[in-house]
Amino acid sequence: MEIILLTDIEGLGRRDDVVTVKNGYGRNYLIPKRMAVVANKRNSNMLKERTRQSDLKTEKMMGKIRAAVSQLEGSALQVGAKVGTSGKIFGSVTNIQLADAIKKATGLEIDRRKITIIDEIKELGTYKAELDLHKDVKPEIEFTVVAE
């Protein structure tokens, strides 16, 4: 069964993607929860129009996104964590803390769900994270974990 996704579904696709799924998964789960619609002619035409309008908005937004990326790459981000005497971190550094650090350093408010920390953080040091700002723009930023 071909369906058009109305939301991002991890492991399946992004919003407005046309994907093929098993009939039961589409009919009994995705469509009733309004996560997808059947990819018939009417819905396909609506998708084309929505995509066209989205592309126009995206062109306007790309300038802002690129400016935000350059601002993030130029700033030194620091995330505080509680540390023991050996330099190991108590607990963990999360994407929520990183989102707060980005907001403090640059004033940009980035959704925590769009931040993926690449490395496992166990000690003080410099680490990398990936931001999912747009399907074509996924910059990597560096941040430093410091003792509080």
Tracing tokens 């469509």 back to the chain, one arrives at 31
Which residues are CB-neighbours of 69 under 8 A, at least 6 positions away? 131, 133, 137, 139
Domains defined for the chain, CATH in brackets: 2-64 (3.40.5.10), 66-147 (3.10.430.100)
Whether 7 and 35 have beta carbons less than 8 Å apart is answered as: yes
Read off the amino acid at residue 23: N
pLDDT in tens, the chain (148 residues): 999 999 999 999 988 899 999 999 999 999 999 999 999 999 999 999 988 998 888 888 888 878 878 878 777 788 888 888 887 888 888 889 999 988 888 888 888 888 899 888 888 888 999 888 777 778 888 888 888 8
Q: How many CA atoms lie within 13 A of 83 on its CB side?
A: 16
Alpha helices in 34-147 (DSSP H): 41-74, 95-106
